[in-house]
Structure 1
Amino acid sequence: MGALGLLLLLGLLSGGSAVIHSLRYFHTASSGLSSFPEFVAVGMVDEVQFLHYDSVSKRAVAKQAWMDQVPTEDPDYWERATGIYQGQQQVFKGIIETAKKRFNHTGGAHIVQRMDGCEWDDEDDTTDGHQQYAYDGEDFIAFDLKTLTWVALVRQAVSTKLRWDQDRALNQYWKNYLTKECVDWLKKYGKSTQQRTERPQVSLLQRSPSSPVVCHATGFFPDRVVVFWRRDGQELHEQVDPGELKGIEDIPTPLDPALIRTNWGKTGRDGGLPGPFLIAGSVAGALLLVGALVLAGVCWYRKRNGEEYI
């Protein structure tokens, strides 16, 4: 239990509660960035990347082992996906050039992103969908599923809105995709991600001798657990900032000075910490419990006769 009998626990939340699942695709086009591909596409289900394409490799590839089984059911899946993204690469090259003109940008580094996807509540079976564009990290235009029209989020997007609102057939297609087709794929992909389990990696951190002790948990799935401190079998909640994190079972971590990483020197009883008094003071005075989720990813048209793409 450690010198003070304090224990950090990560426990699974009630398994009967509803979960919101998501399927999202991120398309990113860049200009003026020599160290980054001109086009990247990423697919994520329940915040886990399962698909990747970039303009360097020019191939759509699986990022999860369970995606390797897709050709068994659909032999042409990866060739078809590669062809689609190669086409999108050219489309987004036109989009970013049009955007630069709208904002009077002639040089420098610029980025256009599109995010589209859907959510599904596995308890009441409700769904939602979204599609939106951003330029240089700022919202540009978004699709309104209720009205099947586009919302210009900056004045430079007004002409795009007016033109896209007139394409009723395409907007109806997006409604069908975001509310039906996307959800069907989400349920299909979700079966694989929902069954996987990964234990958290837990670290105890302290910035300085007078700083609170921080719990840092990463790399876990599923994503709903409660984190708390316990002493002599009793949970501690006063002066603690709790977090809900990913995990699958009770995982005890003793508040032992030897386990705490610091910024000011050696950890453990050989140096850096002035014994149990500091830890006791931190717990009684201002113990901070912080949960953090670290995800890897990209945190993810044609131009003819002078035609604008957005």
Structure 2
Amino acid sequence: MSHLGQYVNSIYDFFLFCPTVKHSLKTLYTVTSGFPNLPELMISVLVDNVQAGYCDSNKTISVNHDVWKKLFKDNPGLLDLCTEQCVEIQPKHFKSRLDRIMQHFNQTEGVHILQFIEGVQLDEQSREHTLFVQCGYDGEGFMSLDLMMQTWISVKPEADAIKQDWEADKAGIGTYIHFLTQTYPAWLGMCLYHGGSFLLKTVPPSVSLLQKSPSSPVSCHATGFYPDRATMFWRKDGEELHEDVDHGEILPNHDGTFQMRVDLNISSVKPEDWRRYDCVFQLSGVEDDSVIRLDKAVIRTNWVPPSQVPAGAVIGVFVGLMLLSVCITGLFIWRKKKNNGSREIRRDVL
């Protein structure tokens, strides 16, 4: 058995008693044309949708965590993907494909982007690998690879001519599929072997309800959770709500954890119906959800009703206005006397 095969087999026992999740290893290739400030080729290696390594044709290379630094160091093939392949070999290959597509569409100038994403996903419960290759052009779906039939599938009719070009290279397709079916699962096994505890780490969030004013939406805010594979939504009577709900993006915190929010418009919610609503937060790898019921008593806000403004503050404002009025009156009298004095001086001069 090969060294790579041992990683693939041992990883199943390593995760046998862990919560069932899906892990993935993806490589994203981005080829550009017409962008003066961008490299012609950028390659990102993603483990569970988190960037582990990056390189570009300008010889920029970065690895984002000590776990992945060791992984890249111990595996020359994966390291080569982010060094020689990125700087010397792949730019020519992908640039020729982009040029061919631009030629096909009679595009001689302007900004254009060709992207390939390839990889593998592992379902730990079924132990099945799902392989995929997808291609996009200028932000739209363009082509995908059928691994069983070993053919390219054009997403739009305009790509049929490009599909014929790519399928003419039978040897290239065979090499590509062998790389996907053999190397990618082995690489994913090594990722899980080296970074298993890192990838499976889960940190539950702190969930709270926030509101700027009584007429503002109520924000269900979760912060401090890890990983970023999480969902949050509002329910009414146990059913997920889609109307009057605004979902925010998952954002990073400075300490490596994440935060997110989902807002509920309560303008049409009757006070007696508040108890029918709750907010649910779900974190990948954690069985129990975090649930918080819509309750005025637990909503955090900085808003203070006018009737509850302290009497001392009201008195202070009143006194301040009185002092301002006295100052203005005094200034007016002083200027009037000064002007009268100036007139008397002018009379004496005359």
Task: From the superposition, tell whether residues 157 and 251 of structure 1 become closer, same or farther in structure 2 (CA, over 3 Å).
Answer: closer
Q: Judge conservation of contact 1:23–1:117 (CA < 8 Å) in 2.
A: yes
Equivalent residue for 1:240? 278
**Contact preservation (8 Å) 2:278, 2:291:** no
Equivalent pair of 2:29/2:43 in contact (CA under 8 Å): yes
- In 2, the alpha carbon distance for the partners of 1:252 and 1:140 equals 41
Cα 1:101–1:205 shift into 2, 3 Å: farther
Structure possessing the higher radius of gyration over alpha carbons:
2
Question: Structure 1's 23 and 77: CA in aligned 2 closer, same or farther, altered over 3 A?
Answer: closer
Report the CA distance between 1:243 and its aligned residue: 4.1
Higher helix share: 2
Whether contact under 8 Å (2:24, 2:49) holds in the other structure is yes
Q: Provide closer, same or farther for how the CA distance between residues 96 and 71 of structure 1 changes in structure 2, counting only shifts above 3 A.
A: closer
- Is 2:63 aligned against 1:62? yes
Give secondary structure in 2 for the equivalent of 1:106. Answer: coil
Letter in 1 for 2:102: K
The aligned runs of 1:1-310 (5 Å cut-off) are 17-56=19-58, 58-70=59-71, 73-74=74-75, 78=79, 81-86=82-87, 87-196=89-198, 197=201, 199=203, 202=206, 205-206=210-211, 209-217=215-223, 220-221=226-227, 223=229, 238-240=276-278, 242-246=280-284, 260=300, 268=302, 271=304
CA distance in 2, matches of 1:242, 1:137: 33
Please tell me the residue identity of whatever aligns with 2:219: V
| 1:258 to partner: Cα distance | 9.9
Q: Deviations over 1:176-228 (max 9, x none)?
A: 22222101100111234431236366575547633122224466127468889
Give yes or no for contact 2:43–2:86 (8 Å, CA) kept in 1: yes
Q: Tell me if structure 2 keeps the 8 A contact 1:198–1:222.
A: no
Supply the RMSD in Å over aligned alpha carbons. 3.8
The normalised TM-score by structure 1 is 0.65
Aligned pair in 2 of structure 1 residues 144, 88: CA closer, same or farther (>3 Å)? same
Q: Residues 274, 161 of structure 1: CA spacing in aligned structure 2 closer, same or farther, 3 A cutoff?
A: farther
Whether the 8 Å contact between 1:45 and 1:190 is mirrored in structure 2 is no
* C-alpha spacing 1:80/1:107, structure 2 compared with 1 (3 Å): closer
Q: Mean alpha-carbon deviation: is it higher for 99-108 or for 110-119?
A: 99-108
Q: Deviations over 1:72-120 (max 9, x none)?
A: 5346864564111122122222222222222222332211101100111
Contact 1:66 1:192 in 2 (8 A): yes
Identity score, percent: 24
Q: Is the 8 A contact 2:20 2:285 kept in 1?
A: no
Count of residues in correspondence between the two structures? 247
Q: CA deviation at 1:161?
A: 1.7
Give the gaps of 5 or more residues in structure 1: 1-14, 230-235, 261-266, 276-310
Q: Is contact 2:31-2:114 (8 Å) kept?
A: yes
Where 2:44 maps in the other structure, the secondary structure is: strand
Distance in 1 (CA, whole Å) between partners of 2:44 and 2:64 is 10
Indicate conservation of the 8 Å contact 1:205/1:216, yes or no: no
Closer, same or farther: CA 35–199 of 1 in aligned 2, 3 Å: farther
The CA distance in 1 between the partners of 2:296 and 2:210, in whole Å, is 11
SS at match of 1:163: helix
- Name the amino acid aligned to 2:226: F
Aligned 8 A contact 2:279 2:292 in 1: no
| Contact 1:110–1:136 under 8 Å retained in 2 | yes
The Cα shift of 1:69 comes to: 1.7
Bigger RCO (CA 8 Å, 6+ sep)? 1
For residue 221 of structure 1, give the secondary structure of its aligned residue in structure 2: coil
Partner of 1:242, secondary structure, is: strand
Deviates more, 1:63-72 or 1:186-195: 63-72
Q: Which amino acid aligns with 1:245?
A: L
Q: 2: CA distance between counterparts of 1:88 and 1:75?
A: 17
